[in-house]
Structures are given as structure tokens and as C-alpha cells.
Amino acid sequence: MLQLKPLPIKTVQIFGPLVVFALALIALIFDAQISDFLIYNRRLITDGEYWRIISGHLFHSNANHFMLNVAAVTLLWALHGQYYNHKNYLMIFLTSAIVCSLGIYWFSIDIELYVGLSGVLHGFFVWGALMDIKHKEKTGYLLLIGVMAKIVHEQVYGASADVERLIGASVATDAHLYGAIGGLLAFVLCYINLNKTSRIEP
């Protein structure tokens, strides 16, 4: 019989998602005042404003876009929050954000401006599915196959027109691919770090 897992409500498990929510909410509230200094902007990154590679992910095209991504942050926490702690959440976020932004910068040269957490969230999804597999959770395989199928479908057929109307912007489907690769890299880094730690311990 299917049993629901208890929600991961320890401080170390909820701290990361709450920080991301708070920063994204601040970015939404003060968008008009600060977005020009922080969003992903290809030209300004080329000019040396490298912080945009990370900070741009916290901004959104409108409130609907924000709510969709916050809902996804919450869902991923409910799915995989048992694996979260302060250190790995920050590492997954930064790795996915950097890989996503660099992927856009190097390979999707038609994208001049980019905002949103969706690329990073695909990284968290892949990382969580791989952690499920590592912990012998069969659902991890289904989740991993599901996100891979979604990414392939988007690459072939493009994004949902309904979603684009809802968020008032084009969906950067390439960001989902790059973010997922970032999540895979984050999992590898976590695995390497865990092995190093286990060797040090007596």
C-alpha cells in the first residue's frame, strides 16, 4: 500500500527553500528598482558584470511566473527535502545556476535576457531523483525518466503556449536542459565530497 512520507520540516531541510523564496519575493517586490542591476543580461555579463550569472535566476517576468516557480520549490522540497541541508542546498543552487547561465551564454546566443528559477529547479529535480535512486527509492527512476522526457519534448516541440501566456514571456527551454545538467554535476560533486568525508572519518 502507498504510504505518504512525512514532510521534511527540520530546520536544515526547510532553510534553503525559505531563503530562495524570500530572495525571490524581495526581487519581485523591488523589481522596478533593482532588476536592471541584477538580471541576466548577455551584453552586461560580457562587460564584466558576472554576478548576474547567479542573481538573474531570482527574478521573474510577473507574479504568475513567481508563483509557478515558488510552487515548484515547495513541491521539490516535499519530494526530496529529506536530503536537504544548508551546505548541499547552496551547492545545488549555485551549480545549477552557474551551469544554466553559462549554457545560455555559450550555446543559446539568441537569448539576451533571462529571468526565472525554472532552470535551477530542473537541476534540483535531477539531483533529487538521483538521490532517490542512490537510496534505493524506485520512484527516483520514474522521476528521472519523466524529467528527461519533458526536456526532450521541449527541445523538439518547444514550450507550452499556455504557460507562455500565463507568465507573459517566452519560456527558455534551453535553460531547463542546462539546469538539469547542472543538477547532474551537483550530484556528482555531492558524491565525491561524501566519499572524501567517509575516507577521513576513523
Mean pLDDT by 10 residues, the chain (202 residues): 75 97 98 98 98 98 97 97 96 98 98 97 98 94 97 95 93 97 96 62 44
Closest Cα to residue 181, out of 114, 111, 80, 106?
106
Query: Can you give the pLDDT at residue 3?
Result: 56
Locus of grid cell 524506485: 138
Q: Collapsing DSSP states into helix, strand and coil, what is residue 199?
A: helix
Grid coordinates of 147: 524529467
pTM score, whole prediction: 0.94
Sorted by sequence, the CB contacts under 8 Å of residue 137 that are 6+ apart come out as: none
Helix axes 63-80, 118-134, angle to 10 degrees: 10
Q: What is the DSSP letter of 51?
A: T
Domains and CATH numbers, the chain: 11-200 (1.20.1540.10)
Tell me the CA end-to-end span of the chain in Å, nearest whole number.
40
The backbone torsions φ and ψ at residue 114, rounded to the nearest 5 degrees and listed phi first, read -145, 135
Q: Collapsing DSSP states into helix, strand and coil, what is residue 29?
A: helix
Is-contact 117 25, C-beta < 8 A?
no
Query: Can you give the pLDDT at residue 62?
Result: 97
Query: Can you give the pLDDT at residue 28?
Result: 98
